[in-house]
Amino acid sequence: MEAYLVTDRHLASDEFLLRLIRRASEAGIDRVQIREKDLGGRALIRLVRQAMEAVEDRRATLLVNDRLDVALSASAHGVHLGREGLPADVARRIAGDELIIGVSAHSMDEALEAQERGADYLFIGPVFPTPSKAAFGEPLGVPKLESILRRIRIPAYAIGGVTPERMAILRNLPLTGVAMISAFVRAPSVADLVQQVHQGRWS
């Protein structure tokens, strides 16, 4: 199971955020997404470039939320597109085949559409209740998540309220991995959390 860190600097300081990315990268995190929607272009480019330095020569791929222009300017590995972002096929025509393109899906229809438009992977959620995803409505729950996973053919990550305590519920689903925001910020040991996901040592 892959571990995916999604950032939110409002949960901690900017300095902590970069330390977190560095620690997670050193621990073998698979993917990191810079999800700082309120940052202006220059500040976001600077943050992404710093984050790219933190993951350099590590296994992690680094993606930028929604801002394809920033992802390209900062030489990030990919872009993650939300519901209001560019369609995946449009982003592909602009960016070419080298860039990883992820898409958020909150329903079966959205997941199938993103797959059809050429997304490389999906976020599916929110699975559980969580303040960071409250704007997307009621959580899907595990049964709806599973039904979506059975229909799609591309990699998928569960997101939304995923915690070490809840990961056991997801153990037997055909997921590529889990994406977490606050769980990484609050983790007593980022390295232990990454290893826990990788090895399936779930509560």
| Catalytic choice (104, 107, 144, 153) | 104
Q: Which of 9, 23, 35, 67 is catalytic?
A: 35
Q: What angle do CA 9, 3, 177 make, to 5 degrees?
A: 125
Annotated active-site residue in 23, 31, 67, 133: 133
Tokens linked to 164: 């070490």
Whether 37 is a known active-site residue: answer no
In order of 42, 75, 160, 194, 202, the CA distances from 23 in angstroms are 25, 21, 22, 10, 21
Q: Is 35 a catalytic residue?
A: yes
Distance CA 142, CA 166 (A): 11
Residue 104 is among the residues annotated as catalytic for this protein: yes
CA distances for 51 relative to 43, 55, 74, angstroms: 12, 6, 10
Q: Which residues are catalytic?
A: 35, 104, 133
